[in-house]
Structure 1
Amino acid sequence: MGLREEARAWLEEALSGEFAHARGLGGPGREHEGFEVRRAWERHLGKAGWTCLGWPVEYGGRAASLADQVAFHEEYARADAPARVGHIGENLLGPTLLDHGTEEQRRRFLPPIQRGEELWCQGYSEPEAGSDLANVQTRAVLDGSDWVVTGQKVWTSLAHVADWIFVLCRTEPGSTRHRGLSYLLVPMDRPGVEVRPIVQLTGTSEFNEVFFDGARTDAANIVGAPGEGWKIAMATLGYERGVSTLGQQIGFRRELDKVVAKARETGAFEDPVLRDRLVRSWLELEIMRYTALRDPQSPITKLYWSEWHRRLGELAQAVQGKAGLVAEGGELNELQRLYLFSRADTIYAGSSEIQRTLIAERVLGLPK
């Protein structure tokens, strides 16, 4: 039995018993849905060996090929399994530690991620350093056996439920831009760490502000050497825009299918202009998939998927017609939530403007 068939059989059994009520929970703008159930599901996945498939076997993975990882994500989506809660640890921090961490860090942090026991969030953006990541002002100083962190992060996804955060901060006094930065791992339950949820257009609070007021973490919790933070942070962004987006695209397919179904229900599918937009959306999603399979870490990936997803949100509103402008009973429907949440896609994880500049300078070799 191949991995695809194995995954299909396991998911069907797992989602027909204890976790039958977890089908379809979560997603963009719906991260609050059934969170404790989804966290239990994450642990269930880990125990059965269905997390971290691409990781080496010695760290709990299966050393699965890219094709097998894609097959699992496809079967996961077809089973309508709940949205994952361990994405940041598994797909961002995990690969970072595998490539740049110490063996001690791998042994400490990778097993709890694989087992679904520890959740992570990403401490990059700041009020004055969003897309301009090199301008971060959060600082850390070494005090005996601890790093002491002071500053503020913002737009921190899932910080309110995370156990740990990886923080890009300035550890060299007087340094500017890319120099003097370090990449620290900080527990969220320490004194001096405060999380304030940000209420979004969807009415939910996936994003948060995180304040550090003398928060301490062990001196060994630095990835790479002091001052190498920029290099490590860029490596993490490469993983964020790489293989992990293949799973994300399966969710996109499911969303597009729901938009098409709504268009048929409302009669919007008979409008040749809207039908053309739906076909274009399908074609662009196919291009996105094959581009990611060919070159998972292309800098074009984030620009492409975020612009596509924002257009899908606009299309979701268009196929609903005037009814899409009203929240029945004060509650957003799934397509309205898709539209509102997708407005942020071209801003977080690197704005479209910054992505175009990077592509121009680093890929096309154009002058600054």
Structure 2
Amino acid sequence: MEILTRVLPANLFRLTTSRLILTNVAHYTRLAEVGKLETPKTTGKYDTGQLILHKVFGYRGVILFPWLARVYDRDATNKKEYAETANPSETGDTLSNVGKEVKGRTHTFYQVLIDTRDAPYIRAQTEAVTFLGNQESSRSLYAIPGLDYVAHDDIIPYTSLERVPLQHELFDKFLMSQSRQRQVSSTKANPPFIAQETLRAWQKKNHPWLELSDVHRETTEGVRVTVIPFYMGSRESQNSAVYWWRYCIRLENLGAQAVQLRERHWRIFSLSGTLETVRGRGVVGQEPVLARHAPAFQYSSHVSLQAPSGHMWGTFRMEREDGYTFDCRIPPFSLESKPDEGSPMSPTPSA
């Protein structure tokens, strides 16, 4: 196996041969082996209970369950390698709401539980499931912390050597240790943990709020933007319905020079016929720098419409370290509502 010595973006781990080594983040003086790497899957998908390391953000996690998503990749429509590696179960759907038509291809993503020990060191918001309470008397926004949606290609599987392999308040509620011996000689190793009934019930009950359906990607001058929208529910307001969505955005610098996000410019079109323009400094109160040691940043925000559907698109104004500025395109994406199917199983409301 190739020897890997680079420090991952989160500055938490070093990969050496097949070992996963934890680095003391404060002083970089203590090394402790916490796991052994496994061979990433090039075909098929990972199972519930598989321990993983995020290739970009560097955190430890465990897979809860997979999702199939349509990926609208505006960079890949004319690439030969994309056609060769596309999932044969592709849907063939197209997106043509704004600009050129883009064909969606099916790819596997995973709902992942993040180790709370790593959360403070990653450049991503870790509340990946939000929805509105359905009770008429409630206007609560519910958030489930420590969850992420991870693409198959961003996963590095590993086996933990720690007594407590992952720390999260939901870990013991959702997963239990695999009782039978792992089959070392088998070509398909069993994951160390299996789903409990509470995980299956939670997934089934919360399906409309958990479902990952569309992913949108586009790259401008070496900065790739990935957008994943989620429907959150609706609220009655003065005899009319207000529909809410959450959208998760990941920015990744694929180039050599550091770039900083300075401004955002959104255009939001509603099926009711309105077109809103939003401008502002940074995102979520930050102007993140994307550099080699930390090339990615991920955040979430929310939008509401007085119509059951609409579209969003826009640009980020980016500034390179040499002073050059450019507008990085945010790929257009649809906002589609779903029937509210009863009150979900929810944690304590966050607001």
Shorter-chain TM band: under 0.3
With a CA cutoff of 8 Å and minimum separation of 6, indicate the structure with the bigger relative contact order: 2
TM-score of the pair, normalised by structure 2: 0.26
Which structure dedicates a bigger proportion of its chain to helix? Answer: 1
TM-score of the pair, normalised by structure 1: 0.25
Which structure dedicates a bigger proportion of its chain to strand? Answer: 2
